[in-house]
Amino acid sequence: MELTDGRLSLAVLSACAALVLGAGGAWWVAADPERGAAPTPTLAPVVVPEEEVAPEPPQEDLESYLPVFPNTVTRHVGRIESQDTFVMHVPTQKDGEYRLQYVCLGPGELSVRIKRTTEGEMLYDADCGGNLSTFQFRAAGADAVIEVYRPDSLAADIGIQVIDVE
């Protein structure tokens, strides 16, 4: 029976040890209520202010609106003031076919007059909306005259070119 008593006492001793370990672990958890739930303090992110730069006004380059062709006879890009007229003399060949292309940036309109054509004097009221527009004409002689008048109260930027079609 000695062997049985030894096994019994070993079993009681193991049970008591497990009970003590379990009670100690429970006490340990109960003694530390903040365990694992505490948030870690964070610092606010550092923000470096950006240097203020005034935005540049959009560049509306008339040269980019008015395409260049190898058969361009004459070309003008510039500003036309209110109530002003710009006159362009264009060398042409009699009965030659030509295109007048223009672009205008600004509010309002332009008056475009083409003189010395086979159709006589051609007059157009043209929009200054920034679109490329074309007028076709046939020359009556050795030169044509293009007159561009700005009837509005504000200046505008214009680009004008004459292209030989033939």
56: pLDDT confidence band, cut at 50, 70 and 90?
A: very low
**Mean pLDDT in residue range 156-163:** 94
Q: How far is CA 46 from CA 40, 42, 49, in A?
A: 18, 12, 10
Under the banding of pLDDT at 50, 70 and 90, the label for residue 54 is: very low
Q: What is the rounded average pLDDT of the residues 134-141?
A: 95
Question: What's the rounded Cα separation, in Å, for the pair 155 and 158?
Answer: 10
Judged against a pLDDT cut of 90, whether residue 141 lies above it is answered with: yes
pLDDT reported for residue 163? 96
Q: Find, among 141, 52, 63, 54, the residue nearest to 98 by Cα.
A: 141
% of the chain residues with pLDDT over 70:
72
Task: Count Cβ atoms below 10 Å from residue 128 Cβ, excluding itself.
Answer: 21
Do residues 136 and 102 make contact, with C-beta atoms less than 8 angstroms apart?
A: no
Collapsing DSSP to helix, strand or coil, 17 comes out as helix
Domains annotated on the chain, with CATH? 71-164 (2.60.120.680)
Tens-digit pLDDT profile for residues 72-130? 999 999 999 999 999 999 999 999 999 999 999 988 999 999 999 999 999 999 888 88
Give the mean model confidence (pLDDT) for residues 54-70.
Answer: 67
